[in-house]
Structure formats: structure tokens, C-alpha cells
Amino acid sequence: MDKPIARYIDAAILHPELEQTQAREAIKQVIGYGCRTVCVRPCDIEQAVELCRGTKTGICTVLGFPHGCGMSRVKGFEANACLEAGADELDMVVNYGYIRSGEWDLVEADITAVTGVAGPRGALVKVILETSQLTPEQIARATQCAIDARADYVKTSTGFAGGGATIEAVQAMLDSARGRIKVKASGGIRDFAQAKAYLDLGVARLGAGYTSLAAICEGNPVPGRGGY
């Protein structure tokens, strides 16, 4: 770990029930920790742009979240709208039903619908595989699809599908990536020891809920909250 742990973290503020004032305060908290990005709901991009201006925290948002089963062309439209609103990075949920079906051309096309929009604009794309729903073989093949579609990262989980990052899933992604794409571990990372274990394994980015930042960055107790 060659920099403060906060600089590896995309801090997620994604619970659908959050009020606007709650989201705003959470964004301020993330900025205070100096996280790499704040990962917000698309409806919160504009206030994130306002709050993050002049700070070292960038703006990430999610596409096709949390199920990934919308039309690929809609994901492309959503990507364009989010980038126009001010997002720097896009975390898309790939259609993991396609992955489970072995429909690899459709998987790659789903990702390309987003990278084709984001790439020319210099925006990073992270592909959420939802690894808790996949076999190691499916994880490996989906990682290759993300490479072929010119994504920047593969990411483990949304945190909303009953399972998060595991050492086994992350290792399968790293083994398949072989340095050709970066890996982001997310879902269920709620303290410093967990976060550092994934960094030591070789991931380039961490996804963590904003309510876990004190535990990860300061070693304070984790609040009792489910989800991301």
C-alpha cells in the first residue's frame, strides 16, 4: 500500500431511500476522508459535482444498478447522460444472466455499449460481475469479455445481491486479468483489515459504503448497517 487507504476507495452512497439532505451530508463525509471517488446514485451527480469541485475526490456513478438486466442500448444512453451531468467514472452492472447463460457475445456487447460512449471521453468504466452469482469459470470468462470490450476494471459486486467480495472471486479475476485490466473489490468490506487484505492481493480499487469509512480509514467500530 503506497498511499493512504482512502485513495483506493470509491465510497458508495447508493441506498435508494436516502433523502437528498442525507446524500449531501454523506458526500461531504467522503470528501473529508479524501477518498478517490464518491460513488453516487445518478440523481445525485449534480450535487456531487458542486461539492467535489476543487477537492481531490472524483465522481463515480452506477449504470444498470443493481440488477444489470436492462437493454444494452439503454445503458449506453445512461452512460452518456451521466457523463454529461459530470461523472468521471462509470460502474456498470453487466447482464450476469447472460454470463450464467454462456452468451459471451451478448456479454461483450453489453459492456461495449458503455465503453463505446465512455472511452472517447476519457471516462473510466468498471464492470460489475456480481461474482456471488457466478462460478470461478464464469468469472474468468466474463473478465476476458471485459478486456475484449476495452473496460478499465472488473469489479466484484453491487453489494445488493446477497454477497460481496471474496478472496476466491478476486483471485479468479486477477488470474484471468493477468495485468490486462484492473480489479476492484467491493461489497462487504467494512474494516481496515479486510480492505488491506484485498490490496495486498493486488486489487487497484476498493468499493466501500460511506458508513464504513471510519472503520476502514480510522479503525473505528463499524455501524450496524446492511447493504453495500
Q: Does the residue 38 lie in any domain? A: yes
Q: Which of 151, 199, 147 is nearest to 177 (CA)?
A: 147
In whole angstroms, give the CA distance from residue 99 to residue 90: 20
Decide if 126 is catalytic.
no
Q: Does the residue 141 lie in any domain? A: yes
Q: What is the pLDDT of residues 152-205, one digit of tens each?
A: 999 999 999 988 999 999 999 999 999 999 999 999 999 999 999 999 999 999
Candidates 10, 44, 91, 110; catalytic one: 91
Question: What pLDDT score was predicted for residue 182?
Answer: 98
Q: Which three cell numbers stand for residue 188?
A: 462487504
User: Has residue 122 got a pLDDT over 70?
Assistant: yes
Tell me, letter by letter, the H, E, C secondary structure of 66-125.
CCCCCCHHHHHHHHHHHHHHCCCEEEEECCHHHHHHCCHHHHHHHHHHHHHHHHHHCCEE
Q: Does the residue 225 lie in any domain? A: no
Decide if 91 is catalytic.
yes
Q: Does the residue 202 lie in any domain? A: yes
Candidates 75, 126, 155, 182; catalytic one: 155
Q: Does the residue 133 lie in any domain? A: yes
Decide if 184 is catalytic.
yes
**CATH number assigned to the domain comprising residue 159:** 3.20.20.70
Q: For residue 160, give every residue at least 6 positions away whose Cβ sits within 8 Å of its Cβ, in sequence order, or none.
A: 14, 65, 66, 227, 228
Query: Looking at the 3D structure of the chain, how many domains does it have?
Result: 1
Q: Does the residue 204 lie in any domain? A: yes
Q: For residue 181, give every residue at least 6 positions away whose Cβ sits within 8 Å of its Cβ, in sequence order, or none.
A: 143, 146, 147, 151, 152, 153, 154
Q: What is the pLDDT of residues 74-120, one digit of tens each?
A: 999 999 999 999 999 999 999 999 999 999 999 999 999 999 999 99
Q: Does the residue 228 lie in any domain? A: no
Q: Does the residue 177 lie in any domain? A: yes
In whole angstroms, give the CA distance from residue 41 to residue 61: 6
- Domain residue limits at 44: 10-218
